[in-house]
Amino acid sequence: MTMIIDSHSHLPSPGRAGHNFSEARPQIDAWRKLGINGAIFTTWQGVMAASADDIEQGNRAALDIYAKFSDFVLPGVSVHPKYPELSLQWIHEFHRQNLLWAGEWCPADQLEFDAPEYEPFFALCEELGMVVQLHNSKGIIPVAKRHPQLTIVAAHVNHAFIGEEGQLPNLWLDISGLYGGLCWQALEKAKDAFGTKRLFYGTDFDGYDPEIFIYRVKTHFTPEEQQDIFHRNLLAFLRNNNINNAFGLNY
């Protein structure tokens, strides 16, 4: 059995409706049924945050889920540019708990990632040695150039600028979302731009069905490359970034 780790997903906060699952356990059971061995996540409430309460509750729920399911998940911290102090506190809190993953962050409040409002978040993550996973939009490129010591995971395969992204040594790519699952030649383009060592299996579950991404990886890559994309690249990446407390694995 191939080990498969999902590098991009979202889990529900308690009491928040509007997703396919209303709590973490059945979603984790669904992953396990598909042969998936672990997942990196933010809460939906965190990634879609529109208020200070969302940041507070979404991050708290992420830590609660991690406490219950640390043998399966690794949480990322959520931020919002409108609430800088609160967001910076949460980055510090995750770091204090030795949880060194931030994101997925989506551009919020119609701001791009290279807007000054985001700058303190990136500066702090760079200083603390935390990985940041960013929804793939064009602000990633100037941020990656401005912060060469910051390690960034670009989420989803964005055709418009993937070639330029692949040139940046501090960028990795997760194949989650529509592009990795459905769009014509998206994985070929990802491979052309990033090679096969900087790609991670990812889904955006429960926004998308994890199974289609397994199928796509199997049909587009050699058996050796599949091992890299399903788990080897990510585990090596986590090790290199001092993230040793994920999925109940020794790696």
| Cβ closest to Zn ion, residue 62 vs residue 225 | 62
Closest by CA to 74, choosing from 241, 199, 247, 251, is 247
Closest separation between CB of residue 10 and Zn ion, Å? 6
Closest separation between CB of residue 40 and Zn ion, Å?
10
DSSP 165-213: HHT-TTEEEE--HHHHHTSTTHHHHHHHHHTTTSEE----BTSS-HHHH
181: Cβ contacts below 8 Å, ≥ 6 apart: 203, 208, 209, 212, 213, 216
State the nearest-atom distance from the C-beta of 214 to Zn ion, in Å.
18
Least distance to Zn ion from the beta carbon of 44, Å?
Answer: 9
Region from 24-32, 81-89, 199-207, 220-228 binding Zn ion, contact rule CB under 5 A: 199-207
The number of residues that bind Zn ion (CB under 5 A) is 2
The one among 204, 206, 225, 228 contacting Zn ion by CB under 5 A:
204
Q: Which of 6, 104, 114, 165 binds Zn ion (CB under 5 A)?
A: 104
- Alpha-carbon distance 247 to 74, whole Å? 7
Q: Which tokens hold the place of 32?
A: 């396990």
CB of 73 to Zn ion, least distance (A): 15
Cβ-based nearer residue to Zn ion, 56 or 104: 104
Nearer to Zn ion (CB atom), residue 157 or residue 225? 157
What is the DSSP track for 113-160?
Answer: TTSGGGHHHHHHHHHHT-EEEEES-TTHHHHHHH-TTS-EEEES--TT
Shortest spacing between CB 8 and Zn ion, in angstroms: 6
- Could you tell me if residue 56 is left (phi over 0), alpha (psi between -120 and 50 degrees) or otherwise beta? alpha
Closer residue to Zn ion, CB minimum distance, 181 or 225: 181
Nearer to Zn ion by Cβ, of 87 and 225: the residue is 87
State in angstroms the smallest separation of the CB of 135 from Zn ion.
Answer: 6
Residues 165-194 binding Zn ion (CB under 5 A) are none
Nearer to Zn ion, 48 or 128 (CB): 48
Q: Name the DSSP class of 74.
A: E
Does residue 206 interact with Zn ion by CB under 5 A?
no
Query: HSE of 238 in the Cβ direction (CA atoms, 13 Å)?
Result: 24
Site for Zn ion, rule CB under 5 A: 104, 204
